[in-house]
């Protein structure tokens, strides 16, 4: 007997300021490794992750790494096109990268929406949580409120270095995407 089979392919964006750990998060999630050697991404790069979501559902995630243009604080419509969800990343040790989060969210929402007109699901990642939590401490319990106000479906403290919460954050995003289809 054949098990009913559902397959989904989702383009996911990983955006946020330079150096917050976008490439490291993708590497950790897809290739299970981490390098402290810094290399700015040049050119469009994407990686594929396959999730066996449940016995009858396979989810393929195409993770789009930003291509160096994050210096300008926005991306082109072409880059965002047909994405089903996004991670917006900031670095908990650098407050300015948190301030940039709303700018990234506005840029995304102004250039991309789902075929049904709704905004795409976005999860906020407070990365480098292995390094201290200055930014989060200053915001305290207000992170939940911040997410509600700015339309994030959730937020996670992550570390690409220590492999903290990356799988969880991805499951949260995929769950919301599946529910929004
Ligand atoms: P991107 O510009 O957003 O793609 O950032 P990268 O992934 O290139 O990371 C920038 C720097 O931060 C690199 O030196 C990484 O090794 C470092 N980094 C990334 N994630 C973490 C993390 O979770 N913890 C720590 N301690 N360093 C990180
Ligand atoms: Mg990068």
Tens of pLDDT, residue by residue over 10-39, are 999 999 999 999 999 999 999 888 877 655
Parts of the chain with a pLDDT under 50: none
Q: What is the pLDDT of residue 72?
A: 77
Distance 138 CA to ligand 1 centre (A): 22
For residue 63, what are the β-bridge partners?
12, 47
- How many CA within 13 A on the CB side of residue 80? 22
- Cα–Cα distance, 146 to 6 (Å, whole number): 35
Q: What is the pLDDT of residue 75?
A: 80
- Cα–Cα distance, 26 to 8 (Å, whole number): 19
Ligand 1 interacting residues, C-beta cut-off 6 A? 18-24, 36, 38, 41, 127-128, 130-131, 159-161
- For the entire predicted model, the pTM comes to 0.93
Protein residue whose Cα sits closest to atom 22 of ligand 1: 128
Burial 36-62 (b: 16+ CB within 10 A, else e): eeeeebeeeebbebebebeeeeebebb
Q: What is the pLDDT of residue 132?
A: 78
Measured from the Cα of 65, ligand 1's closest atom is 4
């Amino acid at each position: 007997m054949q098990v009913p089979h559902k397959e989904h392919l989702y383009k996911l964006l990983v955006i946020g300021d330079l150096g917050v750990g976008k490439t490291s998060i993708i590497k950790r999630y897809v290739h299970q490794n981490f390098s402290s050697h810094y290399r700015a991404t040049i050119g469009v790069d994407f990686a594929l992750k396959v999730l066996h979501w449940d016995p009858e559902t396979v989810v393929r995630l195409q993770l789009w790494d930003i291509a160096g243009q994050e210096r300008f604080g926005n991306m082109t419509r072409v880059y965002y096109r047909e994405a089903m969800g996004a991670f917006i990343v900031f670095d908990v040790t650098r407050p300015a990268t948190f301030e940039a989060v709303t700018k990234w969210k506005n840029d995304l929402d102004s250039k991309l929406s789902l075929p049904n007109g709704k905004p795409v699901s976005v999860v906020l990642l407070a990365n480098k949580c292995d390094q201290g939590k200055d930014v989060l401490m200053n915001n305290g319990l207000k992170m939940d409120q911040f997410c509600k106000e700015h339309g994030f479906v959730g937020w996670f403290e992550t570390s690409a270095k220590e492999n903290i919460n990356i799988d969880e954050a991805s499951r949260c995003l995929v769950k919301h995407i599946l529910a929004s289809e």
